[in-house]
A and B are shown apart, each in its own frame.
Chain A
Amino acid sequence: MKLKSIPFVCIAGALLAASAAVGVYLAFLSPGEPAARGGPAVMRRISEAQYRRSIADIFGADIKIAGRFEPEARREGLLAVGSSKVGLSATGFEQYYNLARDISTQVVDEQHRSLLPCKPQALNAPDDACTLTVLRRFGLPLLRRPPTEARLAELVEIAHKTTEEHQDFYAGLKMALVGILASPDFLFRVDLAGAGQDRPEQISLDDYSKATRLSFFLWNATPDAELLAAAARGDLERRSGLTAQVDRLLASPRLEDGVRAFFSDFLGFDEFDHLEKDGAIYPAFSPKVAQDAKEQTLKTIADLLVARRGDYRELFTNHDTFLTRRLGMIYGVPVDSRTGWDRFRFPADDPRGGLLEQVSFTALHSHPGRSSPTLRGKAIRELLLCQTVPAPPNNVNFAVVQDTNNPNFKTARDRLTAHRTEPTCAGCHRIMDPSGLALENFDGAGQFRPTENGTAIDTSGELDGQKFADAAGLGRALHDDPLAAACLVGSVYRYAVGRLVAPGERDWMTWLTKSFTSDGCRLPDLMRRIALSRAFYAVSGTPRGTQSAAVVPGTGSEEKRE
């Protein structure tokens, strides 16, 4: 291993002696790219999806993972940011521990043991060399860095003793694997700082942390063998080595996994886990429809942004999508395939086109038994434009807005207009309603409806001064809104680093957004630019090991850990 992880406090000391600290970042900068000082290192709990992917990649996709996972937490708009805040409850550890036992049992069972890198000399006796070989093989990708020799020795000893107890080599091996699968450095991705031989004064992630951050960002997966080998060789310290790995990951079909994972987080798709629709009011809707709706959007995104390398903004106007027969029932269009997905293009003049008109948006941001222009408008503001809508006052009277049987206010627009006469409500509803009302042609399940209570629905509105007549116009307004692109860029970066953008990164973020839009808003290009940047790996702020340690000049306190 070329690099050795060292506590930040040591690096901080080194940097105190290197007053030109900021200058070191210039080495990797692209033309015109401002220097960014990075943000604090983070420790992120791996998500359920990442856990499952890691096990499948390392032990095989047929390993069953039948268990519960600790709930994730959304912070500052993203689960990815929440992952660097959450701990692990007693219930959660118990669940992960039981998963570790179940997985280890399968890994050594007769069906899978042939996949292990060695066979014991005898089935009923310890074979420390074979145990060590297995632990080295799996410990590296599971922990995303080589386990220490001391730790391996402990685990081998446990395996040895268990084998003696049971007269079964594989019982011992299983016990040792539990020691890795239940460990904190598997369940958490811990950023470690390193200093390269070429630039010992530089504060940034060590090579294995770089590999981990890179792989989870681009693939939502643990680093593969090739990336780990590159980390071991120190390739990621060099521009050419890093570029080779980034381009390899971007060229892989697994990039789609990474893009899907980002958008699942960005669009709040975890809400699908508890989405309910009233069966009497929306008989066509079901949990399977909900899952299909989520998948429809992810397939559409992957097709447009990854396969076709399209412009992100076209998501709001794009009429090409994929449908199942179940979804066809909701959209009211024929779908040939009985069980699978059909590529489908809505006609150019069809109101159902872009992301906003998809069931994953209209149904997710509705009540169980009715649509909600306010929830939809709020989602547009908060999810897609990264704006904050204040919470409503506590004693708000919704009597008018919610009474769908009031003969004087037949449509949601009528009711919301009446509601906006309340001065305390008007401010926020002016922000949310004009965009949300444009989607009123879609009921709470996402089904098209031209009228409500026998009255034609008026879908006109405006978004930050841009007026439109219908949902398609809203899509075009969002397409043209520079905030939409800026929101995506900021969200991708926060997702990638698992924290807020630090003040010392603001110029860099401005440059990143400008580069994104001037290059046609291509998501893979944005991901590449981030993955190759100094900012992505730079670390500033809290020194390791102690809060009272010296602060690095020019890099401290951009973002205090909470």
Chain B
Amino acid sequence: MTGKISRRRVLRGTLQGMAVAVGMPLLDCLLNDNGTAFAGTGRPLPVRFGTWFWGLGYTPSRWVPQKIGADYDLQPELRYIEPYKHQINILSGFDVKLDGKPNTAHYAGTFGFRTGTAADEPDRSLLPTFDVTIADAIGNDTRFKSLEVASTGNNTDSYSRRTVNDVNPGEGSPVQFYTRVFGPDFRDPNAADFKPDPDVMLRLSVLSSIKDQRQSLVQEVGSNDRARLDQYFTSLRQVEQQLQLQLQKPPAAEACRVAGQPKEAPIGYEVGNVLANHKLFAELMAMALACNQTRVFNVVYSDSRSQLHKPGSTAIHHQYTHEEPIDKDLGYQIESAWFVERSMEAWTTFVGALAALKEGDGTLLDHTFVLAHSDTSFAKTHLVQALPVMTAGSASGRIKTGIHIAGNGEPVTRIALTAQQVMGLSVERWGGGSMDTNQPLTEMLA
């Protein structure tokens, strides 16, 4: 049974008593040329990318700054970001162009923005969201290609997907997220000792044996199922990557200080729970980035049709956006605006979590590029024109911050194109139909 010569046979004798080192070099082309260095190694700090999502947009008159450019004014719903205003850009007035396709409520805006192409109804799109494209490029030398969390606790609240049928689920429990990232398989990059686990090569050989089945399986299925199988094997590659990383001592990470496991807390759409869990997720995600566990993340604060609700209320946020009359004196929907303000409060919490970690000569936020957006602009009418978008962090000096850029009806794809280029991808144009663009937001580029 063991007589044949195989790839795994080569492993024999290579493990016993020796430290195996499989080189997993950082991809220099993806690092910031202007970045500061890993402490003590001289290697530049990585640049991270992430998205932050909230549902049901904003109140136009209470969110969009009046002033264009630097030192923009803060309208009431944006006042929470004041401590980090100089590190946040406001991108207003950029549209999802539907090109005659239906404005499927809470969906068209989200995935029009993320895939760059208006979706059909029902959506059969095989296009990836641009965070996946970025993760494919820069996420290959960390434990996780990307990490997704859903503060609502519902793992289907995720807007990161390779195709419409391959959604990256969001972890809904901070405890589970902690266990996944900082549990037994976590290697502290700052630990003095490093001894590779001899089981790793054996575990890799198991995965290799599974990969051997690909050829025979793909011959048995049609082209669409073949694509699904390929997705399976791509996903398997992440575990291989995780194992391979265990064979080498991780580079030191100055800001990596893992706190204790969070306590179990209520999970669900009640807004207090969402805010509390989001805060935990923000801190854990920041630490995952600081510890080089991933370079790409997707955070969902609230779902695209926001089922968030206040205790004792007969309506959820979504219902308020439709039903609530505009207050005659104040000129806006009071309850709906309350939820928008909680969203902006949470966004500030997230940015603050990144800014709290010192790294190099700045903070983690300085070495990150976060793109925040919603599914609609004014939720009462479900408009996908003038989607509210923000960025935070300077991506290690690659972009300017603290400015307000008015899109004036330009396609939102310009924003995602900019993000991809900032993250080092060789993408000249992006988007479909009338959202096809080759124009990044140069006013934001450093």
> Which of chain B's residues 205-219 have a Cβ closer than 8 Å to chain A?
205-207, 209-210, 212-213, 217, 219
Q: With a 10 A CB-CB cut-off, give which of B169, B199, B268, B307 has the most chain A CB atoms.
A: B169
Contact, CB under 8 Å: A404 / B220: no
Most chain A beta-carbon neighbours within 10 Å: one of B1, B11, B180, B325: B1
Residues of A within 8 A of B (CB): 5, 7, 40-43, 68, 70-71, 73, 85-94, 97, 128, 132, 151, 153-158, 160-162, 164-165, 175-176, 178-179, 182-185, 187-188, 190, 192, 273-274, 276, 278-281, 367-370, 391-392, 394-399, 401-404, 542-545, 547, 561-562
Q: A185-B217, A562-B224 are in contact. Are A394 and B382 (CB under 8 A)?
A: yes
The answer to whether A88 and B231 touch across the interface, beta carbons within 8 angstroms, is yes
| Interface residue B195 (Cβ < 8 Å from any Cβ of A) | no
Residue among A154, A392, A394 making CB contact with B209, cutoff 8 Å:
A154
8 closest residue pairs by CB, A with B: A402-B323, A394-B382, A369-B314, A93-B235, A87-B231, A280-B312, A398-B322, A87-B166
- Number of B interface residues at 8 Å Cβ cutoff, please give it: 84
Check: B313 CB closer than 8 A to any chain A CB. Answer: yes
Q: A161-B8, A368-B269, A544-B220 are in contact. List 17 more A-B contacts (CB 8 A).
A: A41-B221, A41-B222, A89-B235, A90-B238, A158-B202, A161-B205, A165-B16, A184-B210, A184-B213, A274-B154, A279-B311, A280-B312, A281-B314, A398-B323, A402-B319, A542-B223, A561-B225
Are B269 and A183 in contact (CB-based, < 8 A)? no
Question: CB distance A71 to B156 under 8 Å?
Answer: yes
**Nearest B-chain residue to A73, judged by Cβ:** B165
Bound complex: CA A157 to CA B151 (Å) = 45
Among A179, A370, A401, the one with the most B-chain Cβ atoms within 10 Å of its Cβ is A179
The answer to whether A70 and B163 touch (CB under 8 A), given A43-B228, A93-B235, A183-B213, is: no
The tally of CB-CB contacts under 8 A between chains A and B is 227
Question: CB-nearest residue of chain B relative to A545?
Answer: B219
Complex alpha-carbon distance, A161 and B206, angstroms: 11
* B161 nearest in chain A by CB position: A89
Name the A residues within 8 Å of B236 (CB-CB): 93, 97, 182
Instruction: Give the chain A neighbours of B313 by CB distance below 8 A.
Output: 278, 369
- 8 Å CB contacts to A: which residues of B8-33? 8-9, 11-12, 15-16
Question: A91–B198 contact, CB under 8 A?
Answer: no
| B144 contact set on A, CB distance < 8 A | 90
B231 touches A175 (CB 8 A): no
Q: How far is the CA of A185 from the CA of B214 in the complex (A)?
A: 10
A/B interface sample: 25 pairs, CB < 8 A: A71-B156, A87-B163, A87-B166, A87-B235, A89-B162, A90-B144, A90-B238, A94-B235, A128-B2, A153-B1, A154-B6, A158-B202, A161-B205, A165-B15, A184-B210, A184-B217, A274-B269, A368-B307, A369-B312, A394-B383, A398-B322, A544-B221, A544-B222, A545-B220, A561-B225
> Contact at A367–B316, with CB atoms within 8 Å?
yes
Interface membership of B186, Cβ < 8 A: no
Residues of B within 8 A of A (CB): 1-2, 4, 6, 8-9, 11-12, 15-16, 103-105, 124, 144-146, 148, 153-156, 162-163, 165-169, 171, 176, 180, 198-199, 202-203, 205-207, 209-210, 212-213, 217, 219-225, 227-229, 231-239, 242, 268-270, 307, 309, 311-316, 319, 322-325, 380-383
CB distance from A119 to the nearest CB of B (A): 18
Bound: A395/B384 CA distance, A:
12
Q: Smallest Cβ distance from A68 to chain B, in angstroms? A: 7
**With a CB–CB cut-off of 8 A, which chain A residues contact B316?**
367-369
Q: A562: which B residues are within 8 A, CB to CB?
A: 124, 224
